[in-house]
Amino acid sequence: MAQTPDDGGKRVKRSLSLALTCSVTLALCGTPSVVRSAGPEPVIVNRGNPLFRYIFTADPAPLVVGDTLYLYTGHDQAADGVMFDMRDWLVFSTKDMKTWTPHAPIMSAKDFKWAKGDAWASQAIEKNGKFYFYAAVAHDDSHPGMAIGVAVSDSPTGPFTDARGSALITNQMTPEGTHSWEDIDPTVFTDDDGTTWIAWGNRNCYIAKLKANMTEIDGPIRKITPPDFVEGPWLHKRGNLYYLTYASLDPQTQSAEHTSYATATSLDGPWTHRGELTKSAKNSFTIHPGIAEFKGQWYIFLHNATLTVGNQSGAAGRRAVTVEYLQYNPDGTLRPIIQTDAGVSVPPPPAN
Ligand code: FUB
């Protein structure tokens, strides 16, 4: 959809508000992780994890477009005692994984007119020269529960506008689950034949095809819930192998989410459970994987809750995104990931 003059105005306001937020938080931070470049945009220098230290971010979702990696994130703003307060989504870009540019917020949950709020996890994908942004939000009372919307933009940095005027997936479309936040955390992946798939879920993991217009489900919704699945599925492919990475929990032995994964030789399955990829994130019940190959190196983005901004320390609803190298064994299995302070500010460990 084309950008309207009204969108342009909103975007300027968003830019101003981001610039103001950056200046205020810079003043509050002891060690600034944002420095002014020669251009109009501030530049964030990667000094290890967490990546961005002036603002709370969560649910990272990378997208590579040409020579740039865009990282979409949620924006945590929870006060003490509040689980989540997430109103809009952010995007940052890098060409080298060493410096990052923050852009204006791409969209608010309430830009989906049918949504009440709750800008939960998202993922963007490019198709036919446009950028589609799939995101979980709270639906209004016409379709109670969390739902998934799709927005579109001509640019990876937005602004994005609702592509349907209604939810793509509502809680009522997956009647098996009895809780209201079953339909969250979309992941989108375009296969070699051009078909784009969407997977999502909490407690149950679902998968479906998208029509070529990217705004409608094509065919049945299938359940593919892997062992210990909680939420945050992420689909990717390397060679001939498909990977489904997700936040997992064994309630008998764990008190916070770990990351696990499964592999398959077809998105139709069957999926083979490959076990754990990470332990839990520091100080955070949730963990949320986002995976991309960028300039010949694989990365896994996660979050933890170790960041303090001003007088606000990390918490369940004040998280911060991190990144680690993702490495493969010769048989295609993934090497276990340890969340480190250095992240990718140091060279990767030697490959197997
Ligand atoms: O950020 C809100 C929710 O927490 C996400 O949708 C889940 O994946 C978890 O990270």
Alpha-carbon distance of 124 to 5, in angstroms, equals 23
| Joined tokens for residue 170 | 């509502």
Pocket residues: Cβ below 6 A from ligand 1: 58-59, 74, 84, 120-121, 136, 184-185, 231-232, 286, 288
The residue written with tokens 């995976």 in the block is 291
**Three-state DSSP state, 154:** coil
Alpha-carbon distance of 47 to 54, in angstroms, equals 13
Residue nearest atom 2 in ligand 1 by C-alpha distance: 120
Alpha-carbon distance of 71 to 157, in angstroms, equals 10
Query: Of the given ranges (24-38, 68-82, 86-100, 241-255), which has the lowest mean pLDDT?
Result: 24-38
Q: Is the pLDDT of residue 20 over 50?
A: no
Q: Determine the residue type at 258.
A: H
Q: How far is the CA of 207 from the centre of ligand 1 (A)?
A: 18
Q: Is the pLDDT of residue 18 over 70?
A: no
At residue 42, the pLDDT reads 80
Other beta carbons within 10 angstroms of residue 77's beta carbon come to 17
The residue written with tokens 């955070």 in the block is 284
Mutation pick for ligand 1 pocket among 89, 134, 184, 318 (CB with most ligand atoms within 8 Å): 184
Alpha-carbon distance of 295 to 63, in angstroms, equals 12
Whole-model pTM?
0.90
Alpha-carbon distance of 315 to 268, in angstroms, equals 38
Q: How far is the CA of 331 from the centre of ligand 1 (A)?
A: 31
Q: How far is the CA of 119 from the centre of ligand 1 (A)?
A: 9
Task: Looking at the CA of residue 136, tell me the nearest atom of ligand 1.
Answer: 6
At residue 352, the pLDDT reads 64
Q: Is the pLDDT of residue 253 over 70?
A: yes
**By percentage, how much of the chain surpasses pLDDT 70?**
88
Mutation pick for ligand 1 pocket among 120, 134, 283 (CB with most ligand atoms within 8 Å): 120
Q: Determine the residue type at 103.
A: H
Confidence band for 171, pLDDT divided at 50, 70 and 90: very high
At residue 40, the pLDDT reads 46
Q: Dihedral of CA 13/14/16/20: which sign?
A: positive
Confidence band for 41, pLDDT divided at 50, 70 and 90: low
Q: Are 323 and 301 in contact (CB under 8 A)?
A: yes
Q: What is the mean pLDDT of residues 131-154?
A: 98
Confidence band for 289, pLDDT divided at 50, 70 and 90: very high
Confidence band for 68, pLDDT divided at 50, 70 and 90: very high
Q: How far is the CA of 285 from the centre of ligand 1 (A)?
A: 10
CATH superfamily of 10-325: Glycosyl hydrolase domain; family 43 (2.115.10.20)
Mean pLDDT, the chain, rounded, equals 90
Other beta carbons within 10 angstroms of residue 181's beta carbon come to 18
* Residue 110 per-residue DSSP state: G
Beta bridge partners of 217: 210
Confidence band for 16, pLDDT divided at 50, 70 and 90: very low
Residue nearest atom 8 in ligand 1 by C-alpha distance: 232
Confidence band for 351, pLDDT divided at 50, 70 and 90: confident
Backbone angles phi, psi at 27, to 5 degrees: -65, -30
Bond into 159 cis (ω within 30):
yes
Residue nearest atom 3 in ligand 1 by C-alpha distance: 120
Residue nearest atom 9 in ligand 1 by C-alpha distance: 286
Q: What is the mean pLDDT of residues 224-244?
A: 98
Q: Is the pLDDT of residue 9 over 60?
A: no
Q: Give Cα 143 distance to the centre of its chain.
A: 24
